[in-house]
Amino acid sequence: MKSTARQAGRIMMEQLHGDYKVYVKPDRSRVTDVDLAISELAQEAVARRFPEIGLHSEESDNKNILPGRPYFIVDELDGTSSFIDDKTGFSHQAAYYEPGKGLVAGLIYYPWNDALLYAWKGEGAYLEQKGEARRLPPPPSKPFQQLTYYHSARYRGEKYTELFRKLGVGDNRIIRTDARRSLLLALGELDVCLFLRPRIAIWDLAGEKVIIEELGFSHSYLDGSPVRFGNEPPRGNRGYLMCPAGWWEKFLGELPGLLPGEYKP
């Protein structure tokens, strides 16, 4: 996974300011020749080295998940829009799923600053940069009134800002960022991520999930049920929550009554 991530990173950086094509997919999201080249790289590597392991990725054709089979989960180029805009808000993400154990390994690589985050379930989370790896300590606990909140840098609506105001969160505790949110979580500079969406593709979450859980964060749907590879979100899902485990129950108790009308049961 680390080797493929670094190869993917080289492809990204070689083409960052290059002449590549951009396509619009049926869901109106964008994909580039760079995404597709990394997809070919991942598919070839898995088929050659691990033919018994499946690949579930954003750009692979086969999205079926067979019960009882191990899988690599890959987001070839997370933050394609940032990449197209020549902004450093993109990464490569990957995870490994083992039947009976769930997601057991996660990885995120930011090629623009050579930061490689990775974790193995039960073994901690690590940051490798400039040839040196160090185990990351759990972020220090904070009072509820000091927690910081993620806000997508690209989102222009008001639903998150309105929710944060109801939680008593001032602008000084709202961090507008992009795919680097996982790095900020790992470094203790960001504490809470709320996603008011009924469904997020698992390749957007799997690598991050293993890493932050190893650091002491909870990761669940807003009804408290866990996010699992191969399982669809609960019916009527109102969103996702990542937060320090110590504040998880408080959020689950307070959030339902504060959500915008369309997200209430």
Asked if 223 and 246 sit in the same domain, the reply is: yes
* Strand pairing category for 91-98 and 240-244: unpaired
Q: What is the mean pLDDT of the chain?
A: 94
Asked if 162 and 233 sit in the same domain, the reply is: yes
Domain housing 97:
2-135
- What is the tally of structural domains in the chain? 2
CA distances from 58 to 51, 119, 149, 207, 237 (A): 19, 21, 27, 13, 22
**pLDDT tens-digit profile of 9-34?**
999 999 998 889 999 988 888 999 99
> CATH number of the domain that 157 lies in?
3.40.190.80
pTM (whole model) above 0.85: yes
**pLDDT tens-digit profile of 172-214?**
999 999 989 999 999 999 999 999 999 999 999 999 999 999 9
